[in-house]
Amino acid sequence: MIGEMDADMVVGYFGGKSILITGSTGFLGKVLVEKILRVQPDVKKLFLLVRAPDVESAKLRIQTEVTGREIFLVLKEKHGMGFYDFIDEKICPLAGDIMHENFGLDTANLRELSKDIDIMVNIAATTNFSERYDVAFDANVLGAKHVCAFARKCMKLKMLLHVSTAYVAGEQEGLIPEKPFLIGETLKEGTHLDIESELNLIRETRRELKANCSSEKAERRTMKELGLKRARQFGWPNTYVFTKAMGEMLLGHLRGELPVVILRPSIITSILKEPLPGWMEGIR
């Protein structure tokens, strides 16, 4: 267990830091945002990257899907009438998407961010076990690649924290050591994974579907089946954990001297103690 002194050191470290967080509208993301703002109000800035056509739309999404949720009630009570001013001071919305290079941000935005960011936390992902292969690949594989490339442009970055899943280990039994994946590594003996070939397969499949004038329903079914087929061919049980494993591989391969931490949580459930004991959002 982390000691009280260690916890205080972590909280203190966030003081004066600028942190870029992806996936803040998800369950884990909003828990992290609330926690940082509650325990370290002296954080300099939280840059929240959300899918939106423009900054105003991004701000509205954050107000609706993050700071407007029940988990922020404790912060609202703490700051009273000053809550919204506090949020405006600390949170900077970014309209972008990890599926695009440089998150789709313009050059001016990119230049300023690269000077400011101290820590990056990548939580954004698609967690649907049987997602379309192209959609899961864009978010969990290319997304990790784009996050890493962006992080390498940040001049004073201290750490890139990437949230993966314990289930990248597949359906193994016994003691499973925590070790990074090497590029091309698989869970099935005698196979080798080429990530570029997987991308080309996705593109070729989509071209064929369009050439055959396939319906949207047929395209969705085909892409879902392709993801499951490729995952099982290399030893993973589903598209989600397969693409998360590939994302880890790319991070390890492309990081260079970048300080990277990969977290592999198992099942993320409700909050145990604070700020709202038992709080949960969405049941699947």
Indicate which residues carry an active-site annotation. 240, 244
Dihedral angle at the C-alpha atoms of 147, 151, 153, 157, nearest 10 degrees? 170
The answer to whether 266 and 166 are in contact (CB under 8 A) is yes
The position carrying tokens 């884990």 is: 28
**Strand arrangement, sheet containing 260-263:** 91-95, 45-50, 18-22, 119-122, 159-163, 260-263
Question: Alpha-carbon distance 33 to 31, whole Å?
Answer: 6
Q: Where are the alpha helices (DSSP H) in 63-192?
A: 73-79, 83-90, 107-116, 133-136, 143-151
Three-state DSSP class for residue 92:
strand
